[in-house]
């Protein structure tokens, strides 16, 4: 029985256990039910996914015969996401903390549900500047969260960390709030957020902490998206001493958005076709620029200043031709 109701990423979440999520609101575009797996049986065995699951390190993934998807992160948890994306059956594995488990369930596992419900989440972190969302797009380790933490230090609100849910509206493209927490390296958390608040570790393989964001620093409502900055890979920026914001052609924007999709595991024909249309439309609707900067923590306030100045010019940097 799902007794708890929440909203995250524009999705209504019903769960049979309490989750670290905001209360349910009425602006949900889809629904997911999170249900604890029956005791004393592994989900892999129940669904016949064990031996055939594709393993990459500690991550396992399998498409099941009924259209559902099995995913597991060793030591964290295992999940079965229903074919229609409306139910996630989960099991927390003993070694994981509740915070870490929920990060995986409400990020990685939930992304399968979102895609199965025909949504296209992006791998991005977003903050709120002057009432509008500004997103940082990039793969793991590109510095999205660190840059966002630097904006939090300056008094800007956090909107979402790691997974960005966008949806078009008459007012513009809306960016939806994620869970009120951010994953940060210890040094970055100390530098920009101080020592306040409970922090839990992600997993044994990373020094990242899960830092809760208080209500005064977190935006709980969807806001229009002002711009996306795609972060240059750290290896391309390591020799840079300057910070630069570069224009992209519409084709480059398209490619960056495709690369920035959150879930690359689901590659059915229908998903790719939908993604192609979504990304094409987004290319025409949202300004995007490329941000190149040295990955030095003390330089982040300078990056922030340059971005804020760039945002003042954002109305003039359309990246694409008008919609056809």
Partner 1 sequence: MSVSLSDRVKAAPDVLFRLVGDEGVLLNLRTQRYLGLNPIGARVWTILEPGATIQAAYDALLQDYEVDPSKLRLDLDLFIGQLVEHELVEDAEHAPDREPR
Contact 59, 72 (CB under 8 A): yes
Q: Which is nearer to partner 1, 150 or 166 (CB)?
A: 166
Least distance in angstroms from the C-beta of 285 to partner 1: 12
| 106 CB burial (10 A radius; 0-12, 13-18, 19+) | buried
Q: Which is nearer to partner 1, 35 or 258 (CB)?
A: 258
Residues 6+ away with beta carbon under 8 Å from 128: 134, 156, 157, 158, 159, 219, 223
Least distance in angstroms from the C-beta of 98 to partner 1: 37
> Please, which residues bridge with residue 227 across strands?
134
Least distance in angstroms from the C-beta of 282 to partner 1: 11
Helices (H), ranges, the chain: 43-47, 98-104, 110-116, 144-153, 186-193, 234-237, 250-259, 269-285, 300-312
Pairing outcome for strands 223-231 and 288-292? parallel
| Site residues, partner 1 (CB under 8 A) | 249-255, 258, 267, 269, 272-273, 276, 280, 283-284, 320-321, 324
Q: Which is nearer to partner 1, 220 or 268 (CB)?
A: 268
Least distance in angstroms from the C-beta of 191 to partner 1: 38
Q: Which is nearer to partner 1, 41 or 267 (CB)?
A: 267
Least distance in angstroms from the C-beta of 321 to partner 1: 4
Query: Rounded CA gap, 86 and 318, in Å?
Result: 37
Q: Which is nearer to partner 1, 258 or 308 (CB)?
A: 258
Least distance in angstroms from the C-beta of 272 to partner 1: 5
Least distance in angstroms from the C-beta of 79 to partner 1: 24
Q: Which is nearer to partner 1, 198 or 269 (CB)?
A: 269
Pairing outcome for strands 172-176 and 200-201? unpaired
- The residue whose two tokens read 């300004």 is 287
Q: Which is nearer to partner 1, 139 or 305 (CB)?
A: 139
Least distance in angstroms from the C-beta of 319 to partner 1: 8
Residues 6+ away with beta carbon under 8 Å from 200: 97, 98, 99, 100, 209, 210
Residues 6+ away with beta carbon under 8 Å from 156: 127, 128, 129
- Cβ atoms < 10 Å from Cβ of 128: 20
Q: Which is nearer to partner 1, 244 or 247 (CB)?
A: 247
């Amino acid at each position: 029985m799902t007794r708890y109701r929440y909203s995250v990423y524009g999705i209504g979440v019903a769960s049979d256990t309490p989750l670290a999520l905001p209360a349910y609101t009425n602006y949900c575009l889809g629904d997911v039910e999170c249900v604890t797996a029956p005791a004393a049986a592994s989900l892999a065995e129940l669904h016949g996914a064990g031996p055939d699951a594709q393993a990459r390190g500690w991550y396992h993934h399998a498409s099941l015969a009924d259209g559902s998807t099995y995913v597991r992160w060793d030591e964290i948890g295992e999940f079965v996401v229903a074919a229609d994306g409306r139910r996630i059956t989960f099991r927390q594995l003993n070694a994981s903390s509740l915070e870490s488990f929920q990060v995986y369930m409400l990020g990685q596992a939930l992304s399968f549900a979102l895609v199965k419900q025909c949504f296209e989440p992006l791998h991005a972190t977003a903050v709120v500047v002057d009432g509008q969302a500004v997103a940082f797009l990039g793969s793991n380790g590109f510095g999205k969260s660190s840059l966002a933490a630097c904006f939090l230090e300056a008094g800007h609100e956090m909107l979402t960390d790691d997974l960005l849910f966008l949806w078009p509206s008459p007012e513009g493209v809306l960016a939806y709030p994620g869970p009120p927490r951010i994953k940060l390296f210890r040094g970055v958390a100390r530098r920009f957020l101080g020592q306040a608040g409970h922090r839990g570790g992600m997993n044994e393989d990373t020094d990242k902490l899960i830092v809760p964001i208080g209500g005064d620093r977190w935006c709980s409502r969807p806001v229009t998206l002002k711009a996306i900055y795609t972060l240059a890979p750290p290896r391309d920026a390591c020799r840079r001493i300057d910070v630069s914001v570069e224009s992209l052609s519409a084709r480059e924007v398209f490619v960056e958005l495709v690369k920035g999709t959150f879930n690359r595991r689901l590659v059915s024909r229908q998903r790719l076709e939908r993604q192609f249309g979504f990304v094409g439309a987004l290319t025409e609707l949202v300004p995007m620029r490329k941000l190149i900067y040295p990955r030095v923590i003390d330089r982040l306030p300078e990056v922030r200043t340059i971005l804020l100045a760039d945002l003042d010019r954002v109305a003039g940097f359309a990246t694409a031709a008008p919609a056809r």
